[in-house]
Structure 1
Amino acid sequence: MSSGHSQFALLRQRRFLPFFIVQSLGAFNDNVYRQAIIGLLFYLGVSQEEQSLYTTLAPAIFILPYFLFSALAGQIAEKLEKSRLIVITTTMEIAIMSLAAVGFLTQSMPVLLVALFCTGLQSTLFGPVKYSVLPSVLKPEELTGGNGLVEMGTSMSILVGMISGGIIFTLAGSYGPVVAATAVIALAVAGNITARMIPKVDAGAPDLKINWNPLPESLAVLRLAKKQKAVRNAILGVSWFWFVGTLLTSQLPTYAVVNLGGEPTLYIFALALFSVGTGVGSLLCEKLSGRTVEIGLVPLGAFGMTAFMLDLYLARAGEATAAGLSVPAFIAAAGSARIIVDLVGIGLFTGFFVVPLFALIQSRTPKSEMSRVFAALNIQNSGFIVGAALIALATQKYLHWTIPQLFLALAIANAVVAIYIFTIVPEFLMRFLSWVMVRTLYRLRPHGIEANVPDEGAALIVCNHVSYMDALILSATIPRPVRFVMYYKIFNIPVMRWIFRTAKAIPIAGAREDPALMQAAFDEVDRALAEGELVCIFPEGALTRDGEMAAFKSGVEKILERRPVPVVPMALRGMWDSMWSRRDTRLGRMRVPRRFRAHIEVAAGPPVDGASTDAAQLEALVRTLRAGQA
């Protein structure tokens, strides 16, 4: 893992850049088109009742295809080569936007709404392939950064698209219909041309037999998405993100006028703050995660969202005392800085919340099922979006809640949902606690992890054993989940026990201490390797007492005799001088470090054949790594 790596390097590579541009152009064009429809309504001078009717109908028309055709789209995305499918969907976009252009030029709302339905259909077909492409073209350690870029590009494209579509008729005047028609076609053509530059991406399940009946297939993909508890709840988390985002952004136009005292255009500024925050949070995920799929960021994001939504309610619980404020006037007004920070903060922590969830779904789902799982995600997202709209309507019409009261209820609901998810899948909270501990106590510098730890399949990791924190340090640097074999007394340390158990660590004892536990540990290691998992053992059998490595015991050979998988040698450097080693026993085994946040290194060497190695050879490899000679 190169310390100089930047996720922005992906924007210079053909395997990622064309896809990123296509996705961003698609989101931009969708929002230009939808806002231009609203602009046309004002241009035509239709009544307030007609405006309300169309603005209510438009989102429903756009989202309906997600309910009807997502399951079919998932199957098609699974069966076809993915770059070809992206070219097909962007070609559809040209045809749909040509129909939309006719609607603008003839100023026909029925034609524009038909085209809007077709746009929703095209987005439905593109949706499953959008996120299933990334695991095929990115390495596991690039998933978080790649998803962060996609989320940043999407959020900024939506924002700029809304602004651009909204001002077409304001700036172009009588030429507005022509400009709108030209813009949507030009953007669709640009997306199609770029799509043809995407490299070939193999189909996930080319032999899949497509079920054309949408209802049973929708139920089937929803069941498929529930196979793994962590994936199921990651999907729930992403849908909750859409619920929160829909509820927040749908209230901003009225909130900007009534509660912030601004002109109608202040809504765009408020939306920009939220969108920029989301984009920045999405980009920061790679830095904070150390280029692993760090689901420990999910609780951080959830708690941060709740805190800033709560403060947004406290910052302006009632109506504004001023009215008609421009953006500069609002910024200069007393108390506005707090509201600005809150809106950016909500977006920032939303990015922390959603990006690792996408990366988790991609890393834990088989490639032959990926597109259908994302189709299920789209179905569920649609339900949550519709639910958010209905709840907003019901609370304001029947309960007479103000928008700040709605934000307060959303903050409380977000905390409840987060606690629920983290209770039923404690891995999320476990990773959060371990992430906080590791990054508070240490400064990590990994070497050779990307090149030498296999992206998939079974492997045994062997490492020197220096401190009580070794397992957490290694899990923070290895992109894949790891099953650690650890001495049962370390496994049973208070507080740490819950973390180790949730991470499915395997406790072991010596043959004289507990032969039954030792045998159970070997059996569990073999099962994990048989299922293609990574397993890490510390062959010295105990923590070092003097900072030097002890001889490797024969347990590693017993594991490889039963299942000769590849073995990855790894070494910890600098841990002896850090917290939780056995140095300076005068202060107890868990001593206060002389240097807070000690610099430590984790090095990995090339895998070796498990069928032709032994404990002595592996010990020599780890000693070489430990000395920094490899």
Structure 2
Amino acid sequence: MTPSFRLLAERRFLPLFVTQFLGAFNDNLFRTAMIMLVTFEVLKDPTAEASFSAVAGGLFILPFFLLSALSGQLADGRDKAKIVRLVKSVEIAIMVFGAAGLLLANIPLMLAALFAMGVHSTFFGPIKYAILPQHLESDEVLGGTGLVEAGSYGAILLGTIVGGIVPAHIAAVLVLIVAVLGRIAGQKVPAAPSENPDVRIDFHILRASIRLVRDTMHIRRLFLAITAISFFWMQGAILAAQFPPLVKNALSANQSVATLFLSIFSIGVAVGSIIINRLLKGAVSARFAPAAAILMGLFVCDLYWTVAHWPPTDGTLLDLRSFVALPHADRVLIDLFGVAVAGGMFVVPLYAFLTTTVPKAQTARTVAANNIVNAGAMVFATVMLAGLVHFGVSIAGTLLLVAVMSIGAALLAYRLHLACDRHAADLRAAALRD
């Protein structure tokens, strides 16, 4: 068993891993079941379907923008394990409403539950990264972060598959069961007392958010890391929002193919998370991030070309077997997998960087500042996507936009790599002087 996977046998890591796995699974089980229900059974207009997918993504992201400052302050000022248990209890109540929305095919109720799950994830998000440096040794943090990311995308995979294939009434029961299991797992997370219990909680959301982002982003290496991560999540938000309408309206395939696409993407990010941990051998570094961003862009370009030249059909939606038998289907699937692997290799070291280059008493707030900027970027991306769709930009055209954004992500990652090298050199020089 490698050092990273050995963490799965230890109580200081396993309960947190299981809790976040179940949370990510439930998020995606509910969200996928909702989107599939609305896209393939409720709405009948292609523009409305694409717009709904973008709006749903934006609603889930919005709480990260509004409430991350508060969640970061709470996580740094309170026992993180206690917050985990409170958040997982609230998830059960949220899923009662989500299940009702699925059973009734009630779009406003489903969207309200989705927004509430975004709030739930906003308060859990800083903890799942900030708790790692507190429970793990410094040379274990990258491996632990990689496992968390791989587990998250494995959960996304399973949640996507289950949400895409089970009827809505079965999904309604499952989201409640998983929420209860998540609460049970959360009870086992070891105590993680605050490193700075004197943190004052500022409940003025706007003021706290501005202060948190300002205090974090003025540090150049954190600014570059957070901005690069934001580029990644902007790309991810556009791709995730476009998968169902891409499958139905551009590739003329049915719900099973949409589930396959989301599944392949999830597997790819998990594989990329593991690959980069092996390449870096536990070191926290951005040296592979520029190449990973460029590779991601190249795969998206090829996907754009394939989709833009997809042959017209008679309007009948293809099932999974008919789709994979098409001449260019394998090229689409390889492109999706390549995008995801490169994405995982790009983003995992940057998250590890955020939690290891600041004092432990500030890790949750650093992650929260990152979440605010990421959320703002993703909300902007989803609004921009909805606007582009409204004005007639094709799905293939939005893929080209994602490819162009990879250039910006690569430039930021390269500058971060240089900044980290300079920072490390300064630290070595200071140690020699002392």
The AA in structure 2 aligned to 1:405 is G
Among 219, 222, 228, the residue aligned to 1:228: 219
Among 123, 126, 129, the residue aligned to 1:125: 123
Q: Which shows bigger deviation, 13-22 or 335-344? A: 335-344
- Mark the runs of 5 or more structure 2 residues left unpaired by the alignment: none
- Post-superposition shift, 1:42? 7.8
Q: Distance in 1 between matches of 2:104 and 2:328?
A: 47
Q: What RMSD over aligned residues (CA atoms) do the two structures have, in Å? A: 2.8
Among 320, 342, 354, the residue aligned to 2:347: 354
Structure 1's 270 and 115: CA in aligned 2 closer, same or farther, altered over 3 A?
closer
Alignment of 1:412-423 (within 5 A): 412-423=404-415
CA contact under 8 A between 1:62 and 1:120: conserved in structure 2? Answer: yes
Deviations 1:471-504 (A, max 9, x none): xxxxxxxxxxxxxxxxxxxxxxxxxxxxxxx466
- Post-superposition shift, 1:52? 7.6
Q: Which has the larger radius of gyration?
A: 1
- Mark the runs of 5 or more structure 1 residues left unpaired by the alignment: 171-175, 431-501, 507-523, 530-534, 536-558, 564-630
CA contact under 8 A between 2:269 and 2:344: conserved in structure 1? Answer: yes
Alignment of 1:142-541 (within 5 A): 142-169=140-167, 176=169, 179-322=170-313, 324-398=317-391, 400-423=392-415, 426-427=418-419, 502=422, 505=425, 528-529=430-431
Could you tell me which residue of structure 2 aligns to residue 612 of structure 1?
A: none
Q: Distance in 2 between matches of 1:356 and 1:133?
A: 17
Q: Distance in 1 between matches of 2:414 and 2:6?
A: 34
Higher strand share: 1
The AA in structure 1 aligned to 2:411 is I
Deviations 1:211-262 (A, max 9, x none): 1111110011101221421122111111111111111222222322444343
Could you tell me which residue of structure 2 aligns to residue 26 of structure 1?
A: 23
- Post-superposition shift, 1:282? 0.6
Q: Distance in 2 between matches of 1:339 and 1:42?
A: 21
Equivalenced residue count is 431
Higher helix share: 2
Alignment of 1:85-164 (within 5 A): 85-104=83-102, 109-164=107-162
SS at match of 1:382: helix
CA contact under 8 A between 1:295 and 1:356: conserved in structure 2? Answer: yes
Question: Using CA pairs below 8 Å that are at least 6 residues apart, which structure has the higher relative contact order?
Answer: 2
Among 11, 16, 27, the residue aligned to 1:14: 11
The AA in structure 1 aligned to 2:77 is K
- Post-superposition shift, 1:98? 3.0
The AA in structure 1 aligned to 2:401 is A
Q: Distance in 2 between matches of 1:260 and 1:112?
A: 27
CA contact under 8 A between 1:318 and 1:404: conserved in structure 2? Answer: no
Q: Distance in 2 between matches of 1:236 and 1:139?
A: 27
CA contact under 8 A between 1:141 and 1:291: conserved in structure 2? Answer: yes
The AA in structure 2 aligned to 1:18 is P
Q: Percent identity?
A: 34
Structure 1's 9 and 60: CA in aligned 2 closer, same or farther, altered over 3 A?
same
CA contact under 8 A between 2:291 and 2:410: conserved in structure 1? Answer: no
Deviations 1:264-309 (A, max 9, x none): 4322222222221111001111111011112112112112112212
SS at match of 1:222: helix
CA contact under 8 A between 1:204 and 1:370: conserved in structure 2? Answer: no
SS at match of 2:166: helix
Q: Which shows bigger deviation, 215-224 or 228-237? A: 228-237
Q: Distance in 1 between matches of 2:163 and 2:183?
A: 20
SS at match of 1:265: helix
CA contact under 8 A between 1:70 and 1:376: conserved in structure 2? Answer: yes
